[in-house]
Structure 1
Amino acid sequence: MGRIEDTYKARDVEEIVDIYLYRPWGYALAVLAHRLRMTPNQVTLIGMAVGVLAGHFFYYQDLRLNLLGIFLWMLGQALDGADGQLARMADMRSRLGRMLDGISDNAKFTSLYLHLGLRLVAEAGTGWVFLIAAVAGITHSYQSTLADFYRNAYLFFVVNPQKAELEKSSALRREYARLRWSKHFFEKLLMRAYITYTTRQERWCGHSIALQRRARERFGTHFPDWLRRQYRALNKPLLKYYNALTTNTRMIVLYAAVLLGNLYVFFAFEILVLNTILLLLVFRWQKRADRQLAGALEQETPVATPA
Structure 2
Amino acid sequence: MSQLNFISRHYQEVLASIKQIDVEETFDLYFSRFFGLLFARLGKTLNLTPTHVSFLSLGFGVPGGILLYWQTDVWIIAVACFLITLAGILDSADGQLARMTGTSSEFGRMVDGTIDNMVFMACYFAGIAYFKDIYGLLTIVAIAGASGFVHSVKSAIYEFYKCEYQELMENKEESSIPYTSKEVEIQGNRWYHKVIYYIIVDYTNKQLKFITRSIAQRKSMRELTTNSEISRRFLERYRDYNKSMLSWWAIFCGTNTHRTAIMVCSLFGRIDIYFIASVAWTIFIIPISLIQAKRDKELLQEFSFQNAA
Aligned mates of 2:136, 2:222 — CA distance in 1? 56
Question: Which whole-Å deviations, capped at 9, do the CAs of 1:129-182 have from their partners, x for residues lacking one?
Answer: 232111111110101001100011122233444463423436635x55xx884x
Aligned mates of 2:182, 2:263 — CA distance in 1? 41
Partner of 2:231: 224
Amino acid at match of 2:26: I
Q: Is the 8 A contact 2:36 2:90 kept in 1?
A: yes
Summarize the Cα distance change of 1:4–1:299 in structure 2 as closer, same or farther, 3 Å threshold. Answer: same
Summarize the Cα distance change of 1:103–1:117 in structure 2 as closer, same or farther, 3 Å threshold. Answer: same
SS of match in other structure, 1:3 = helix
CA RMSD of aligned residues (A): 2.5
Mapping of 1:121-270 within 5 angstroms?
A: 121-124=132-135, 127-162=138-173, 164-169=175-180, 172=183, 175-176=185-186, 181=189, 185-205=191-211, 207-220=213-226, 224-244=231-251, 245-270=253-278
Summarize the Cα distance change of 1:11–1:163 in structure 2 as closer, same or farther, 3 Å threshold. Answer: farther
Partner of 1:13: 23
Question: Which whole-Å deviations, capped at 9, do the CAs of 1:54-104 have from their partners, x for residues lacking one?
Answer: 101111021000000000000000011111111111111111011111221
TM-score by length of 1: 0.86
Using the aligned pairs only, state the percent identity: 27
Q: Is the 8 A contact 2:168 2:225 kept in 1?
A: no
Mapping of 1:260-299 within 5 angstroms?
A: 260-273=268-281, 275-282=282-289, 284-299=290-305
Question: Which whole-Å deviations, capped at 9, do the CAs of 1:197-242 have from their partners, x for residues lacking one?
Answer: 2233223336254323113334428662221121111111211221
Amino acid at match of 2:39: L
Aligned mates of 1:22, 1:99 — CA distance in 2? 20
Summarize the Cα distance change of 1:42–1:296 in structure 2 as closer, same or farther, 3 Å threshold. Answer: same
Mapping of 1:69-88 within 5 angstroms?
A: 69-88=80-99
Q: 2:41 aligned with 1:31, yes or no?
A: yes
Amino acid at match of 1:99: M
Aligned length: 294
Summarize the Cα distance change of 1:295–1:111 in structure 2 as closer, same or farther, 3 Å threshold. Answer: same
Summarize the Cα distance change of 1:146–1:9 in structure 2 as closer, same or farther, 3 Å threshold. Answer: farther
Aligned mates of 1:109, 1:8 — CA distance in 2? 26
Amino acid at match of 2:243: K
Q: Which runs of 5+ in 1 are unaligned?
A: 302-307
Q: Is the 8 A contact 1:202 1:209 kept in 2?
A: no
Question: Which whole-Å deviations, capped at 9, do the CAs of 1:111-136 have from their partners, x for residues lacking one?
Answer: 11111122222444554223211111
Partner of 1:45: 55
Q: Which runs of 5+ in 2 are unaligned?
A: 1-9
Aligned mates of 2:209, 2:138 — CA distance in 1? 33
Summarize the Cα distance change of 1:208–1:158 in structure 2 as closer, same or farther, 3 Å threshold. Answer: farther
Q: Is the 8 A contact 1:155 1:163 kept in 2?
A: no
